[in-house]
């Protein structure tokens, strides 16, 4: 909102009014009268710039500028007197005046464009193009931009223009001080999120298939090509190539609850909030709240999900992911690359043997591999509480009477079948004595990696699908698309 009846002053030609500043100050040596006159003239011109600052649409910002101009002029007079009296040197005077006028120019431009920039960032978020980091920095800037309780002062020691809250003694609260450049930096307003799938698709579109026949299996896997493995690594590194890209991989392209913190107190508050929320959930679930040691362990785990934020030399907020977070981002990108490559592993059907003989024949090995694959598939069904034989023979999920049996899944983990908030069956996977699941399966297929002991979920899922088909064929199911329409297999 503008002042009623306010008429903006003509725009100031900043370059013209300040172009001779450096030359003028550098020429000052002895206290001659002509130099005194030059100093007085320079002070007057700079004071006019402060007085005639072109105002914007934000009345609060305008009031702040008008109040800050007084502080700026007072310091110009003070420095003028100090230089004439020999209290400060010409170089120090020049630096202070330069800082003041440069900061003031930045502040004046920010006052005119601040509201418009905030609207543009809001639109970016609404369109789903803004990153999670920009959402956080927008919050910081909005808080800084709440200027109703703030004042502008000029630091007499440096000439820097400061915005902050005043305490009862009229001094700035050090925790509230804002660098004027921070409000004006585009990087604090706009940051596009990384579309990881699109980036990976663009980088993998020319990777060719690689087919390998070995023993009882036929594998279609580009990763078998050493050149492709190097290309995959190079692509992953190029995508996660800087702190903002790494941050977007974690925040915008994973399901983990990553967040940010700028100050240590901010981190502490957020961790306490998460721990309190966890206790509320445990209470609602009929369980005891975390003990002091459990709460501490929980907070230490959650701390890994908080990305530090620093302010660089230009006044721009930058994410500063930890080495562990950088590794996690690279792993996420690498896994995404693998899921976009054509990968297929098929177990060959066993051939009937025409004669006897000692030792294991190829057909015996193939039959054994097939049996092992089907056994893993059956283990996921038993974990889900299925009637295995009925499920295989009908091609549709049939619940059993004996409940879940996790005996066929990978050891070293705890498994628990429960209902989620929507009443859907899920299986939570826990490691050791941790109370927080490391993985949640929403179908038997999701448990494939724990049935086949694979560290590659995509590969395990393909093995599961192949084993399911063979089990259906062995079980005599007439459905070629058994299980379709029943999301237990999806």
Alpha-carbon 121 to chain mean position:
17
Same domain for 337 and 378, yes or no, is no
Cβ contact 246:327 at 8 Å? no
> Both 30 and 48 in a single domain?
yes
Do residues 288 and 407 both lie within one domain?
no
Give the lowest-confidence range in 8-12, 61-65, 67-71, 98-102.
8-12
Share of the chain above pLDDT 70, in %: 70
One domain for residues 293 and 424? no
Could you tell me if 167 and 224 lie in one domain?
A: no
Domain end marker among 188, 208, 239 = 188
In a domain, 200, yes or no: yes
94 in a structural domain: yes
User: How many CB atoms sit inside 10 A of residue 421's CB?
Assistant: 5
Would you place residue 43 in the very low, low, confident or very high pLDDT band (cuts 50, 70, 90)?
A: low
pLDDT at residue 127, rounded to an integer: 82
**CA pseudo-torsion sign 56, 57, 61, 65:** positive
Task: Write down the pLDDT at residue 165.
Answer: 77
The pLDDT value recorded for residue 26 is: 47
- Show the tokens assigned to 254: 């994973």
Question: What domain count does the chain have?
Answer: 3
158 lies in the same domain as 213 = no
Q: Does residue 148 share a domain with residue 23?
A: yes
Q: Note down the domain range covering 47.
A: 14-188
Task: Please tell me whether residues 20 and 39 are part of one structural domain.
Answer: yes
Same domain, 42 and 120: yes
Distance CA(308)–CA(482), nearest Å, equals 49
Residue 457 has pLDDT above 50, yes or no: yes
Same structural domain, 210 and 134: no
* Whole-number average pLDDT of the chain: 75
Q: Is residue 425 a part of any domain in this protein? A: yes
Do 250 and 311 lie in one domain? The reply is yes
Tell me if 9 is assigned to some domain.
no
pLDDT beyond 80 at 350? no
Q: What pLDDT was estimated at residue 357?
A: 46
Location of structure tokens 């710039």:
49
Task: Output the pLDDT for position 37.
Answer: 55
Tell the residue number behind the tokens 């003031």, with chain if given: 104
Please tell me which residue, 122 or 364, carries the higher pLDDT value: 122
Give pLDDT, residue 219.
56
pLDDT above 60 (res 359)? no
Task: Say which DSSP state 435 is in.
Answer: S
- Asked if residue 31 is part of any domain, the answer here is yes
Overall average pLDDT of the 218-222 stretch: 59
Whether 363 has a pLDDT exceeding 60, the answer reads no
Least confident of 32-41, 307-316, 380-389: 32-41
- Give the 3-state secondary structure of residue 68: helix
pLDDT classification of 482: cutoffs 50, 70, 90: very low
Give the range among 7-21, 295-309, 418-432 with minimum mean pLDDT: 7-21
Which is nearest to 106 in space by CA: 149, 57, 147, 61? 61
Report pTM: 0.54
Query: Is 338 contained in some domain?
Result: yes
The pLDDT value recorded for residue 301 is 93
5 versus 184: which is more confidently predicted? 184
Q: Which residue has the higher pLDDT, 212 or 126?
A: 126
pLDDT reading at 10 higher than 70: no
Three-state SS for 268-302 is HHHHHHHHHHHHHHHHHCCCCCCCHHHHHHHHHHH
315/416 same-domain check: no
């Amino acid at each position: 909102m503008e002042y009623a009846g306010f008429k903006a002053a003509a725009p100031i030609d900043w370059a013209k009014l300040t172009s001779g500043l450096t030359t003028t100050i550098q020429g000052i040596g002895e206290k001659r009268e002509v130099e005194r006159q030059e100093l007085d003239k320079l002070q007057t011109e700079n004071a006019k710039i402060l007085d005639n600052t072109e105002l914007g649409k934000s009345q609060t910002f305008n009031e702040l500028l008008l109040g800050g101009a007084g502080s700026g002029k007072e310091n110009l007079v003070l420095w003028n007197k100090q230089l004439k009296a020999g209290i400060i040197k010409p170089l120090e005077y020049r630096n202070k005046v330069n800082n003041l006028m440069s900061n003031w120019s930045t502040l004046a431009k920010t006052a005119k464009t601040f509201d418009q920039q905030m609207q543009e960032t809001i639109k970016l978020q609404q369109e789903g193009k803004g990153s999670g980091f920009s959402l956080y920095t927008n919050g910081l800037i909005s808080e800084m931009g709440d200027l109703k309780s703030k004042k502008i002062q000029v630091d007499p020691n440096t000439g820097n223009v400061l915005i902050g809250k005043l305490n009862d003694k009229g001094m700035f609260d050090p925790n509230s001080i804002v660098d004027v450049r921070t409000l004006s930096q585009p990087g604090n307003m706009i940051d596009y999120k990384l579309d990881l799938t699109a980036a990976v698709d663009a980088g993998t579109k020319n990777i060719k298939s690689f087919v390998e026949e070995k023993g009882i299996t036929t594998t279609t896997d580009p990763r078998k090509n050493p050149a492709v493995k190097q290309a995959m690594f190079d692509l992953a590194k190029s995508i996660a190539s800087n702190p903002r890209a790494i941050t977007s991989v974690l925040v915008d392209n994973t399901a983990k609850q990553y967040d940010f913190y700028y100050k240590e107190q901010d981190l502490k508050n957020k961790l306490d909030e998460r721990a309190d929320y966890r206790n509320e959930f445990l209470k609602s679930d009929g369980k005891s709240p975390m003990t002091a040691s459990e709460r501490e362990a929980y907070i230490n785990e959650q701390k890994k999900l908080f990305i530090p934020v620093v302010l660089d030399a230009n006044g721009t907020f930058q994410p500063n992911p930890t080495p562990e977070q950088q590794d996690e981002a690279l792993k996420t990108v690498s896994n995404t690359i693998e899921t976009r490559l054509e990968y297929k592993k098929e177990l060959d059907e066993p051939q009937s043997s025409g004669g006897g003989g000692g030792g294991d024949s190829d057909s015996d090995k193939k039959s054994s591999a097939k049996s092992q694959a089907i056994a893993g598939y059956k283990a996921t069904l038993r974990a889900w509480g299925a009637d295995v034989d009925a499920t295989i023979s009908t091609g549709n999920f049939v619940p059993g009477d004996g409940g879940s049996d996790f005996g066929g899944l990978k050891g070293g983990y705890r498994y628990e079948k429960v209902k989620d908030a929507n009443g859907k069956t899920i299986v939570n996977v826990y490691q050791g004595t941790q109370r927080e699941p490391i993985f949640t399966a929403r179908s038997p297929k999701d448990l494939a990696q724990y049935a086949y002991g694979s560290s590659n979920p995509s590969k395990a899922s393909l093995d599961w699908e192949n084993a399911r088909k063979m089990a259906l064929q062995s079980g005599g199911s007439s459905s070629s698309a058994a299980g379709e329409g029943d999301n237990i297999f999806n």
